[in-house]
Structure 1
Amino acid sequence: MSPAITHIQKQLWSLLFPENGGGGGGATIKSRKIATSIAITLFGLYFAYEKISKPPKQLRHIPQGGFFKYLYNFMTMRPYDEIVEKITGPLGAKTDHGLYIVFDVYGWTVHVTRPEAAKKLLLKADLFPKIDMNVKRRNTLFGKFAMGPNIIFLIGKHWKDQRSVLNPAFRRSMPVHLFGDLTQKLFFELDKQLDTSVEFHEIMVRWTLDAIGIAGFNFDFNSVAEPTNEWVTRYERIMSANTDPLFMLFPSFETKWLFLFPKRRQAHQELDIFLEKMEEIISKKRKVLANDTTIAEKKTSEKDLLTLMLEASQEGNGKLTDEELQSNLCAFFLAGHDTTANALSYAVYNLATNPKVQQKAREEANRVLGDKPVDVLPTMDQLQEMPYIYRVIKETMRRNVTATGVIAREAQEDTELAGVYIPKGTRVTVDIMEIHRNNKVWKDPEIFNPERFAPGGEAEKVAKMGMSFLPFSNGQRQCIGMNFSLAEQRVFLPMFLRKYEVSLPEDSIHKDKPVVTGVGILTPVDFKINLKKLY
């Protein structure tokens, strides 16, 4: 038996049976067994504490965040910008290289906060491939929903094979007319609420859910008109459960001890129903495509993503299974739903708090779409004629990040980042917020200034430093929902600006800055706006 366990055992005997002098002959065999079991348990806990609460020895040359301090703030879902301001920001600012290490959902992980290091990490995919998250999380709620055989989480040859089939489908999914139709539908609902402050983020979540459901696999959640219907409610429960920090940090609670968490079991049941519905839709779509030759003749812009994936599968080198199709549709939700709803909410916040920017953007929309008091649905060509609104979108995504980082990479050999030794097996991620708000990269990063992205502006200059603008990551593993999300934003904002003038209520909690919550994806809290109808 280990000397450490024997020592703990003797101490326990002294506490439990003081009359026996710390384990003398009077102690019973039963009591000795109890003390031994407790000693082994305590030693195991101590060993786990020593192993988990301190970073690996080979990484202790990098500034580290306190284990319990960071963990507490993460578990209590403290606003991420406050965590950056008070904990991780000072760590990254300590050195010129800007690296720091904290214990997060990947374990002890090195965080990158400088553009040059981010560039190396994201472009050298062979040296820093994505970690395989499926091993520990396959049977978690998040794992079942998002971490199957899809283009986000696959690695190695399977990912490369799937990318060659799916990338064309994702790039071609650009239903601009659909976004315009849904925006008109949203206006009908907004007009009912002009006498009161509008909970705008909630409405954006509903609007983007309808957009991704119809564009993804021709399923109308009808969330804008019926926000409490069965499928909307089910989806919201699943997504809410997916962001529970307890199960994100400790997946074994879910994979081994699920019976202890009845609410979590219920969320799994809801997910099973949702996935069964997707299986049904995929099966029907296959049959329709096999029997209806007119579908192939439709414009690409009129086809949902599932149709495009099936067509790409037939045209490409490999046929996608139903499991792969379903998994990639779930990945599409993950990449393009909440993130876009949040980005649009932040864009409207920035317009509301910067009236001159709002007016300039409105004038551009009216110049391109006309100033008649009617809704006008922009075409793809017209979107290209509104560069200032596009700058508003980009500056919003710089200043108000929706995703705080990228899925961790793992060093395949001993290497370096920004001159710092990174041993083989180290997990590394990019902290997007800290790059976007780094005053060593951007001038006055807290100020909202769309002109940063004008031709010859600051954005072009800082791009020479490396990867300084990463709302969708970069490199081979760039977000698959990027073009789709940008098209949604570029259609919605000019239509919205022509229809309404927007401001914050006097009692808004967001007067000074957006108040946010979330783990990984940042969501504005209680975001209400006032609308003045212009026609």
Structure 2
Amino acid sequence: MLLHFGSKPTLVVSSPDAAREIMKTHDLIFSSRPNSSFGRRLMYNHKDIGSAPYGDYWRQVRKICVLQLLSTKRVQSLQQVREEEVKEMMENIKRSCSNSPTFSALVDLREVLMSLTNDIICRVALGKKYGGEEGSGRRFRKMMIELGYLLGVFNVGDFIPWLSWVNYVIGLEERVEKLFAEIDSFLDEVIEDHIHGKRGEYVGNYDADDGGKDFVDFLLRIQQDKNAEITLGREHIKGIVMDMFAAGTDTSTSLLEWTIARLLKHPEVMKEVQKEVRGVAFATGREFIEEDDIEQMHYLKAVIKEMLRLHPPLPLLVPRESTEETKIKGYDIPAKTIVIINAWAIGRDPTSWDDPEEFKPKRFFNDASSIDFKGHDFQLIPFGAGRRGCPGTHFAIAIIELALANLLHKFDWALPNGANGEALDITESPGLSIHLKSPLLAVATPHY
């Protein structure tokens, strides 16, 4: 449907066929991004990847990020980092259980999972963790939560420019400036640590032949290379690094939290997937599930697919903007039209899915077995598709599979006070990525 949000014509796409026309048939025409005043400020004048307009700069920066952080080869090379961080998370939960007289512990899964994803991305992008319950780790996580809110909030000034003053009255402009100052200070500190070699012992897994020990090192090397294809200033580096966190931390946390919540509401599915996970662990004889083991866990993978269908990390994909007039489904769409693709509605479309509102992972063993989430099947597009599809799909799924498999292997999970699954509130909270309205609290009991 075509809406008019103030001065901006806005096309809302809620069917697989229309999504295919936008992201495949006319992908080039719809490969740019609309200008956003909050995004422009927080993402360094759109010098990142996600919000940059389509063009040479976007192509070159995307190529750098894919080759140096998000390619299949690079993701595989970072396996040790993921496994070490998941092991540390498991040890922390186990320690909490050991300190309890009941040998079980109440776990705030949102806090635990956000810490995990933040630490992994810090290690591979910045060269060290910014951890600790108090201090920079918690500070950084709070910044990410605020960033997700401000990038997703309705900014009336973008659609009705003469009402921009409203943002000052309700305090949004002040929040944007405060957050930008915090982000900018943090990233300045990170870059200075790299320049002066003060970041401490490196804990990632980059090769010296790549010109640096981590992602920031590599970007600094490009900055200093006079023969490089692209010129990077400090603001470019900040925008690119910020994008890695904005895209990776909150979305992965959200999907993991939703998955465990759904399994708590459906204990029969929880038991079945635990049986599979523990069976693979028994066969290998290892206490900790490694990434190579997950290829045998077909039901676990089906559960994750079902969660991507029901609860895509970004229910409304990052908006696109048309660069010229075209036709979609026979209708004239003017140039400079904003396009919002409703991945949430597409994943629940009754013409594509049987019982679309039901949590049924086994659907991916039957009629939907050939459907994947990597941008080729438009019934399931949680990461988008085409030129502007998410380049970090493989990176995110590797974290989600490993974390979920080990949480289900090493612990039995239950709701507090013996409540059954029907008592769990799965109300959604608004935002760029959709979390449970209330953090997920669950009782972990070690499984031996």
Residue in 2 that maps onto 1:438:
349
Distance 1:271 1:253 in 2: 24
Q: Aligned match of 1:159 in 35, 58, 70?
A: 58
Residue in 2 that maps onto 1:460:
370
Distance 1:473 1:249 in 2: 26
Structure 1, unpaired ranges of 5+? 1-98
Question: Can you list the C-alpha shifts for 1:9-35, whole angstroms capped at 9, x where unaligned?
Answer: xxxxxxxxxxxxxxxxxxxxxxxxxxx
Distance 2:122 2:328 in 1: 41
TM-score (norm 2): 0.81
Would you say the 8 A contact 1:184–1:375 is kept in 2?
A: no
* Shift of residue 272, structure 1, vs aligned partner: 2.1
Structure 2 CA distance for partners of 1:358 and 1:271, relative to 1, 3 Å: same
Residue in 2 that maps onto 1:177:
80
**In terms of mean alpha carbon deviation, does 243-252 or 113-122 score higher?**
243-252
Paired amino acid for 1:276: S
Paired amino acid for 1:272: A
1:148 is the counterpart of 2:46: yes
Structure with bigger gyration radius: 1
Question: Can you list the C-alpha shifts for 1:236-270, whole angstroms capped at 9, x where unaligned?
Answer: 05632651576634467998688767786466345
* Shift of residue 448, structure 1, vs aligned partner: 1.5
Distance 1:405 1:152 in 2: 14
Paired amino acid for 1:109: T
Give me the identity figure in percent. Answer: 18
1:322 is the counterpart of 2:234: yes
Distance 1:296 1:493 in 2: 26
Would you say the 8 A contact 2:32–2:322 is kept in 1?
A: no
Distance 1:173 1:321 in 2: 26
Structure 2 CA distance for partners of 1:102 and 1:189, relative to 1, 3 Å: farther
Distance 2:5 2:135 in 1: 39
Distance 2:29 2:346 in 1: 22
Question: Can you list the C-alpha shifts for 1:172-230, whole angstroms capped at 9, x where unaligned?
Answer: 2452222222222222332315645432223222222222222221231215xx1x324
Question: Can you list the C-alpha shifts for 1:334-377, whole angstroms capped at 9, x where unaligned?
Answer: 11111100100111122222333323322332343337997415
**For residues 108-257 of structure 1, what are the structure 2 equivalents within 5 Å?**
108-123=9-24, 124-134=26-36, 136-137=37-38, 143-145=41-43, 148-155=46-53, 156-169=55-68, 170-171=70-71, 172-174=74-76, 175-191=78-94, 192=96, 195=104, 197-223=106-132, 226=133, 228-233=134-139, 235-237=141-143, 239-240=145-146, 243-244=149-150, 248-250=155-157
Structure 2 CA distance for partners of 1:365 and 1:410, relative to 1, 3 Å: same
* Shift of residue 475, structure 1, vs aligned partner: 1.0
Q: Aligned match of 2:386 in 450, 471, 475?
A: 475
Residue in 2 that maps onto 1:358:
270
* Shift of residue 436, structure 1, vs aligned partner: 0.5
Q: Number of residue pairs matched?
A: 423
Structure with the bigger percentage of helix: 1
Would you say the 8 A contact 1:151–1:163 is kept in 2?
A: yes
Residue in 2 that maps onto 1:19:
none
Distance 1:386 1:316 in 2: 43
Structure 2 CA distance for partners of 1:312 and 1:231, relative to 1, 3 Å: same
**For residues 31-430 of structure 1, what are the structure 2 equivalents within 5 Å?**
99=1, 101=3, 103=5, 107-123=8-24, 124-134=26-36, 136-137=37-38, 143-145=41-43, 148-155=46-53, 156-169=55-68, 170-171=70-71, 172-174=74-76, 175-191=78-94, 192=96, 195=104, 197-223=106-132, 226=133, 228-233=134-139, 235-237=141-143, 239-240=145-146, 243-244=149-150, 248-250=155-157, 265=174, 268-286=177-195, 297=207, 304-307=214-217, 309=219, 317-370=229-282, 375-379=287-291, 381-430=292-341
Structure 2 CA distance for partners of 1:237 and 1:405, relative to 1, 3 Å: same
Would you say the 8 A contact 2:156–2:167 is kept in 1?
A: no
Distance 2:163 2:239 in 1: 20
Would you say the 8 A contact 1:215–1:305 is kept in 2?
A: yes
Structure 2 CA distance for partners of 1:137 and 1:465, relative to 1, 3 Å: closer
Question: Can you list the C-alpha shifts for 1:257-303, whole angstroms capped at 9, x where unaligned?
Answer: 887677864663453243233233234435659xx9xx974698x95
TM-score (norm 1): 0.69
Structure 2 CA distance for partners of 1:107 and 1:528, relative to 1, 3 Å: farther
* Shift of residue 406, structure 1, vs aligned partner: 1.9
Paired amino acid for 1:437: R
Structure 2, unpaired ranges of 5+? 98-102
